[in-house]
A and B are shown apart, each in its own frame.
Chain A
């Protein structure tokens, strides 16, 4: 029996229906690991001293970025293949309102970059939730850069052996377990936590466990609701990163709307959600490809047999 047009169209429709059913299957949203470490950055405390920028360069063995300053200053204008942390300034043309903004990896709860990475060069630590990078399995495809909604993954385009560069919460400094300290936060021994939080003279950026930081952030909003704002101008004050894009482990409090500080509007759905649902829906258990192959092989064998018996018009070459 040859596969005629009608049969083909019917099976295609059936396959399509199965495909459509796939995405409908609910995908459980990821939770941060219980020991998730993070940072809290409060723009109302930051004075823009940039000690964190210098400390990050030193702690990560990165050279000062003098490309745009003719060698005079360590002057990154953005994250790059040589800068994992940067302080930016938000200014308004017609008002004195200003805010500094510290940009570095958000260590998302459900990161787009780890979903993008083919061989798991970017990996989320199962205990601390820190998204780390090892160049061992990296082919330099930059899919992670494409995927990240915060534009964090930066690539060393001008290096002969380029790597992806981003904040890894100074995980290379960690040797011991984090313990609850007198400050109320769970911290590593001195010199083992993120360098930026260590040197900040105003405590504008602090680190600890995500749940502790989230509680502190909410406490600050409760105590001083007039100080903080939300995503857009009229939105109520909230913590950025609690649920944004599925949640992040680096949290922000700001006195200027988050949208003005360059933070994207992500809703609560994790960034890689649709892609993962579609991919999983099609390839779950690799059933669909195997089934399709079986159908195709069967049809082709039958066609050839029909051709050999003289009945068919074509068949295999």
Chain B
């Protein structure tokens, strides 16, 4: 009988062939990023004054942090609603969140033209002129620290059970206090994403004359918040099934079925809210416009995911869980990319599409995230459901 609740390192060799491929892609991205720092933004990107934000913001940061909302979404269930059955997926979800947010911060640093002034943000925030972006910046930075602390038991537990030494002493000393303080840290880890994910929506309300009316709604922050929860569940389902297949861990299909049902509910709520908001503000006619196709795609992808998850049998099937997860993630990502890029119209004279180097950096960041995930689950007790008899 497997002890589903206790996480253990996956172990095994790190440098598999797949891992090496990920490293290669990440290395290409890193080299390109170095080139960007040496030669400036124009040398590697197609960013211009009409489209000052491109894929690095729309995908790496805005969508990337949403993919990092797995920890947030699962914590809502596991801690706030106290559903203990979701426990096994909390840690890997927090890991995914940490990686997602951490790399999103890296993407921001690459994108910023004057990144060396970044240190002034937490110091001079009192100069704040109510920019929603300042709130996002401070929140995200704090959240990354919170995630590190939330995940630290994984490392500390490993060191506590390890050989005597400074690491074991550190673990012995900090774990008890950490466990006592956890509720306050977790509460922060629930507050912060609520704040900054909704503010990511508020941010796109500022260019009011340039955002297409189908996306310009005062409910944008709320839509972003619900959307990130839905995407969080989606990514968690994908990640849990992936880990089960690749790392030979117990596939918690029943729990994931329940989670999928919650995800379906969130997706349904989001879709309904989105459509009703558009209808109530008298913008339905705009769906027939060129941009309307993207709106329909967003709705369509959500509906497809909901359709798959509507059947209980399919919810229990890992194959359909994964496919629905893919659709959920795609649907949510599309909404964000639409808000930040596609539905943003600076005028007909401007056009933007990422350059190859821009894409290479994005691929590099995604590959780095995947590689770090693999390394972490193999080295630290993150994943639960180890096979019986396996080393803990």
Where the two chains meet, the residues of A that have a C-beta atom closer than 8 Å to any C-beta of B are 2-5, 8, 16, 19, 23, 78-80, 112, 114-120, 123, 135-143, 145-149, 151, 153-163, 245, 262, 264-266, 271-280, 282-283, 289, 292-293, 296-297, 299-301, 303-304, 306-307, 312-317
* Cβ-defined contact, B130 with A162, below 8 A: no
* Cβ-defined contact, B207 with A149, below 8 A: yes
* Cβ-defined contact, A3 with B117, below 8 A: no
Which of A158, A274, A312 neighbours the largest number of chain B CB atoms within 10 Å of its CB?
A: A274
Known: A157-B40, A275-B208. A138 touches B117 (CB 8 A): yes
CB-contact partner of B153 in A23, A137, A317, under 8 A: A317
Which of B80, B125, B188 neighbours the largest number of chain A CB atoms within 10 Å of its CB?
A: B80
Chain B, range 265-311, C-beta contacts under 8 Å to A: none
Closest A-B pairs by Cβ, 9 of them: A314-B84, A140-B113, A313-B84, A142-B52, A140-B114, A275-B205, A158-B42, A297-B187, A300-B183
Where the two chains meet, the residues of B that have a C-beta atom closer than 8 Å to any C-beta of A are 39-43, 45, 47-50, 52-53, 78-87, 90-91, 111-115, 117-118, 120-121, 124-125, 127-135, 137, 153, 179, 182-184, 186-188, 190-191, 194-195, 198-199, 202-203, 205-210, 216, 218, 220-222, 344, 346-347
* Cβ-defined contact, A118 with B81, below 8 A: no
Query: Distance (Å) between the CB of B125 and the closest chain A CB?
Result: 7
The 12 sampled A-B contact pairs (Cβ below 8 Å) are: A141-B113, A146-B207, A159-B40, A271-B208, A272-B206, A274-B218, A280-B130, A282-B221, A293-B187, A296-B191, A307-B82, A317-B182
* Cβ-defined contact, B206 with A116, below 8 A: yes
Alpha-carbon gap, A147 to B208, bound state (A) = 8
Residues of A within 8 A of B79 (CB): 299-300, 303, 314-316
Query: Distance (Å) between the CB of A216 and the closest chain B CB?
Result: 28
* Cβ-defined contact, B183 with A147, below 8 A: no
* Cβ-defined contact, B130 with A119, below 8 A: no
CB-contact partner of A120 in B117, B127, B184, under 8 A: B127
Alpha-carbon gap, A116 to B204, bound state (A) = 10
Residues of B within 8 A of A155 (CB): 49, 52, 113
Query: Distance (Å) between the CB of B113 and the closest chain A CB?
Result: 3
Query: Distance (Å) between the CB of A99 and the closest chain B CB?
Result: 18
CB-contact partner of A278 in B83, B90, B182, B202, under 8 A: B202
Alpha-carbon gap, A295 to B48, bound state (A) = 44
Residues of A within 8 A of B129 (CB): 114-115, 117, 120, 123
CB-contact partner of A279 in B40, B199, B210, under 8 A: B199
* Cβ-defined contact, A158 with B80, below 8 A: no
Chain A residue nearest to B349 (CB atoms) is: A78
* Cβ-defined contact, B82 with A315, below 8 A: yes
Residues of A within 8 A of B86 (CB): 314
* Cβ-defined contact, A292 with B82, below 8 A: no
Residues of A within 8 A of B344 (CB): 146
* Cβ-defined contact, B205 with A119, below 8 A: no
Query: Distance (Å) between the CB of B158 and the closest chain A CB?
Result: 14
* Cβ-defined contact, A137 with B117, below 8 A: yes
Residues of B within 8 A of A277 (CB): 218
Residues of A within 8 A of B132 (CB): 275, 279
CB-contact partner of A162 in B45, B91, B113, B198, under 8 A: B113
Query: Distance (Å) between the CB of A11 and the closest chain B CB?
Result: 10
Query: Distance (Å) between the CB of A245 and the closest chain B CB?
Result: 8
Query: Distance (Å) between the CB of A162 and the closest chain B CB?
Result: 4
CB-contact partner of B49 in A145, A293, A306, under 8 A: A145
Alpha-carbon gap, A158 to B40, bound state (A) = 6
Residues of A within 8 A of B39 (CB): 160
Alpha-carbon gap, A163 to B308, bound state (A) = 50
Excluding A158-B43, A275-B206, A279-B130, 16 further A-B contacts by CB distance (< 8 Å) are: A3-B81, A116-B131, A138-B117, A139-B113, A149-B210, A151-B50, A157-B40, A159-B40, A264-B209, A272-B206, A274-B205, A296-B80, A297-B184, A300-B183, A300-B186, A316-B179
Known: A115-B131, A120-B127, A293-B187. A314 touches B198 (CB 8 A): no
* Cβ-defined contact, A314 with B87, below 8 A: yes
CB-contact partner of B198 in A158, A276, A282, under 8 A: A282
Known: A118-B137, A314-B79, A316-B179. A151 touches B49 (CB 8 A): yes
Chain B residue nearest to A145 (CB atoms) is: B52
Query: Distance (Å) between the CB of A307 and the closest chain B CB?
Result: 8
Alpha-carbon gap, A154 to B81, bound state (A) = 48
* Cβ-defined contact, A157 with B83, below 8 A: no
Residues of A within 8 A of B50 (CB): 151
Residues of A within 8 A of B113 (CB): 139-142, 155-157, 162
* Cβ-defined contact, A157 with B182, below 8 A: no
* Cβ-defined contact, B121 with A139, below 8 A: yes
Chain A residue nearest to B78 (CB atoms) is: A314
Alpha-carbon gap, A266 to B92, bound state (A) = 47
Residues of A within 8 A of B187 (CB): 293, 296-297, 300
* Cβ-defined contact, A118 with B128, below 8 A: yes
* Cβ-defined contact, A137 with B120, below 8 A: yes
Residues of B within 8 A of A23 (CB): 218
Chain B residue nearest to A265 (CB atoms) is: B209
